[in-house]
């Protein structure tokens, strides 16, 4: 029996929620970063499942754009994180809070 498209959407939504939750709760910067990527991939899944449901190739093409952007983000994000890491041994998001008030 074929799995209705909406299930995929639900899975994607769950994945997205998971990613968001990950960014919110995990203190380690690297894990936050990974959850961010997870959210982007969840969106890819949504695109693909919609493309399949709508039977339109546009959605799938968009996935490639998302991938490209995600890659660019990774490069820059890791660059920043490494720069921070070089000053301090362990890096948690809460340490980085001298800019406040």
Partner 1 sequence: MIFANVLSQLPIALPAISYKAVAPELVLFGGALLILLVSATVGKRELPGLYRAIALVAALAEGGFSGYQLYLAQGAKASLAVAGAIAYDGFSAFAGIVVAAILLLAILIGPGFIKRIAGDGPEFLVLMLISAMGATVMAQGEDLIVIFIGLEILSIALYVMVGYRIGDGLAREAAFKYFILGGFSSAIFLYGIALVYGATGTTNLAKIGAFLALNVLTHDGVLLFGLALLLLGFGFKVSAVPFHLWSPDVYQGAPTSVTGYMAAMAKVGAFAALIRVFDIAFAGQIVQWRPIVVGLAILSMVFGALFALRQRELKKILAYSSINHAGFILLGVYAGTAAAISNTLFYLIAYAVIVVGTFGLVSIVQDSIGVSEGSCSLDQLRGLARSRPALATVTAIMVLAQAGAPFTTGFLAKFSIIVSVVEIREYWVAVVAMLSAAIAVAFYLRIVLAMFRGEPEEVEGERVLAIQGAATEAPARRQALAWIGVSLSLVFTVGFGIFPQPLLDLAARAHIVG
Partner 2 sequence: MGAVGFVVLFPLLGFLVLLTFGRRLGDPVAGWLGTLAVFGSFVSAIVVWLARLGNEGHPYVLRLFDWFSAGGLHVNVSFRVDGLSVAMILFVTGVATLIHLYSIGYMKGDPLYHQFFVYLNLFVFSMVVLVTANTLPLAFLGWEGVGACSYWLISFWFERPTAASAGKKAFIVNRIGDTGFLLGTFLVFEHLGSVSFSRLTAGSLNLSPDTATAIVLLFFLAAAGKSAQLPLFTWLLDAMEGPTPVSALIHAATMVTAGVYLMARLSPILALAHTADLVIAIVGVATAFVAAMAATAQTDIKKIVAYSTVSQLGYMMLGIGTGAYTAAIFLMITHAFYKALIFLGSGSVIHSLNGEQNIRRMGALKKYMPITTVTMILAWLSIAGVPPFSGFFSKGAVLENAFGDSPLLWAAGVITALLTAYYMGRLVYVVFYGTPRFEEVTHGHDPHESPSVMTIPLIVLAAAAVIGGLLNLPVSGFGFLGSWLAPVFGTAQAAYPMSAGLKDGLMATDAVVALLGVFLSWRAWGGVSENPALERKIFFNGWYIDAFYDRAFARTGTAVAEVADTVVDRQIVDGAVTGVAGVARLVGGAGRKVQSGLVRSYLLIMVGGLIVMLGYVLTVAAR
Q: What is the largest CA-CA distance in the chain?
A: 58
Site for partner 2 in 5-24 (CB under 8 A): 20, 23-24
CB of 93 to partner 2, least distance (A): 5
Residue 12 Ramachandran class (φ > 0 left, ψ -120 to 50 alpha, else beta): alpha
The binder of 94, among partner 2, partner 1, none, by C-beta within 5 to 8 A per type, is partner 2
CB of 101 to partner 1, least distance (A): 8
Site for partner 2 in 57-76 (CB under 8 A): none
The binder of 11, among partner 1, partner 2, none, by C-beta within 5 to 8 A per type, is none
Sign, CA dihedral 87-88-93-99, equals negative
Sign, CA dihedral 74-76-79-84, equals negative
User: Residues in the site for partner 2, rule: CB under 8 A?
Assistant: 20, 23-25, 27, 93-94, 96-101
């Amino acid at each position: 029996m074929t799995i209705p498209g909406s299930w995929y959407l639900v899975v994607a939504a769950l994945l997205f929620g998971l990613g968001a939750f990950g960014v919110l709760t995990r203190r380690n910067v690297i894990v936050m970063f990974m959850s961010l990527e997870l959210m982007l991939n969840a969106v890819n899944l949504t695109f693909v499942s919609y493309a399949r449901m709508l039977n339109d190739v546009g959605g799938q093409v968009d996935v490639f754009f998302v991938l490209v952007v995600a890659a660019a983000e990774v490069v820059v994000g890791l660059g920043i994180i490494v720069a921070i890491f070089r000053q301090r041994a362990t890096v948690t998001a809460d340490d980085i809070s001298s800019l406040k008030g």
